[in-house]
Amino acid sequence: MDCIRIEGRAYVGGRFARVRLGREGCKTVQFSNDYLILPGMMDLHVHFRDWGFAHKETLAGGAAAALAGGVVAVGDMPNTRPHIKTAELYRKRLEEGASLPIIYKLHMGVPEDLAELDAAKPGSVKVYPEDVEKYGWGHVEALMRRCVSLGCVVVFHCEDPAYFRGAERPPEAELRCVERVRLLASLTGARVHLTHVTLPQTVEMSRGWASVDVTPHHLLLDVENCRDPGLCLVNPRLKTPEVRKALLAAFVAGLVDMYATDHAPHTLEEKRSQSPPPGICSIDIALSLLLALWRRGIISLGDVVRLYSHRPARLLGVDVEGTFAVVKLEEFKVRGEEFAGKCRQTPFEGFIAFGRVMATAVKGRVYFREGDVYSL
């Protein structure tokens, strides 16, 4: 494999500077000021499917979509088939993920026998509403205490199933869950992260005891501008325009800690069915959607890097050193057919994004959009 050296304008340490990345004597590629080099992005919430769901996506396909979006590290979710809630399954999945071209991290599922946590020693554990429904809050509290001793982060999909009304998931379910988890966090001292939060009240209530992330779809889509019954179906549900705008205002004000996609592939046939599964594909264009907010002056470039690179890197335990993404500073229209993974449909179809990812560097290699790969 040929080696390459990248030269161009980068955003480093809060300022712009010309950089040279790579070794002397390698083929040099110079990028003009129409391009920008950013740190590699870290997506702490993805569903790369595969086990039991390879028709939706595979680990390899998920990794390709990540690279296409400038993402160099991911935190994959455990709700595969089988659900990854034993030490044996946890280790097996990590072994498979280690062969990917990106940095692969995995959130372990909630085991019935908490001794599985001692054997697996995960960096994080994902608690779903279904876990609360199956095991009860007492089991969740015990898990949180175990994670204090093991040093793992407890990641919550925070909706209390006691407040679900059939297929409806009212905002109250999120608020009551946050109240319960806040109490448990105070009792146990566990480190808590609330993922894909949808309400500005959640952002406010979490300050001081939990970190939170928001998704591109909860920031940019709502029940008025996204009406497709399949493509727009997601858990937690999209909210009203008023709630979405208030969440975006909290995001802009710097009250949200991180940005994550909840990239959740399904087939088009499934999404067009009478009972579509929840989930939206966006990892290919999530950075570009965020850069569009920077382009419009809504957030700073420093915000982009903090929200989608540095802070999630700390949560995942990933070093950003040696990773980067090269983006072309141009507007483009989102087209699902251009996505790199199996999932080619998205409710962001036709959105105007900014900053097309042209190359992504991770694990000592540079992956170009056109398919060329070089060592760095």
Structure token digits, residue 73: 């590290």
Predicted confidence at residue 1, as pLDDT, reads 84
Average pLDDT of the chain?
97
Contact 268, 343 (CB under 8 A): no
Domain assignment present for 130 = yes
Count Cβ neighbours within 10 Å for each residue of 1-35 and write b for 16 or more, e otherwise: eeebbbebbbbeeeeeeeeebbeeeeeebebeeeb
Domain assignment present for 23 = no
C-alpha to C-alpha distance for 225 and 292, rounded to whole angstroms: 18
Residue 262 appears among annotated catalytic residues: yes
Name the pairing type of β-strands 258-259 and 324-333: unpaired
Domain assignment present for 326 = yes
Domain assignment present for 262 = yes
C-alpha to C-alpha distance for 148 and 184, rounded to whole angstroms: 12
Stretch among 39-43, 205-209, 239-243, 319-323 having the lowest mean pLDDT: 319-323
Overall average pLDDT of the 282-309 stretch: 98
67 vs 166, more confident = 67
Domain assignment present for 152 = yes
Q: Which structural domain range is residue 192 located in? A: 39-375
Within 299-343, residue ranges assigned H as helices are 301-305, 311-316
Q: Which of 262, 284, 303, 372 is catalytic?
A: 262
Domain assignment present for 6 = no
Overall average pLDDT of the 285-311 stretch: 98
For a pLDDT cut of 70, what percent of the chain falls above it? 100
288 closest CA partner among 196, 223, 358:
358
Count of the separate structural domains present in the chain: 1
Predicted confidence at residue 169, as pLDDT, reads 95
**DSSP string covering 80-143:** SSS-S-SHHHHHHHHHHHTTSSSEEEEPBP--SSTHHHHHH--SEEEE-HHHHHHH-HHHHHHH
Name the pairing type of β-strands 124-127 and 153-156: parallel
Overall average pLDDT of the 37-49 stretch: 98
C-alpha to C-alpha distance for 210 and 195, rounded to whole angstroms: 10
Over residues 112-130, the pLDDT tens digits come to 999 999 999 999 999 999 9
CATH code, domain with 317: 3.20.20.140
Cα 56 from chain centre: 18
286 closest CA partner among 303, 306, 304:
304
* pLDDT of 306 over the 90 cut: yes
Contact 193, 270 (CB under 8 A): no
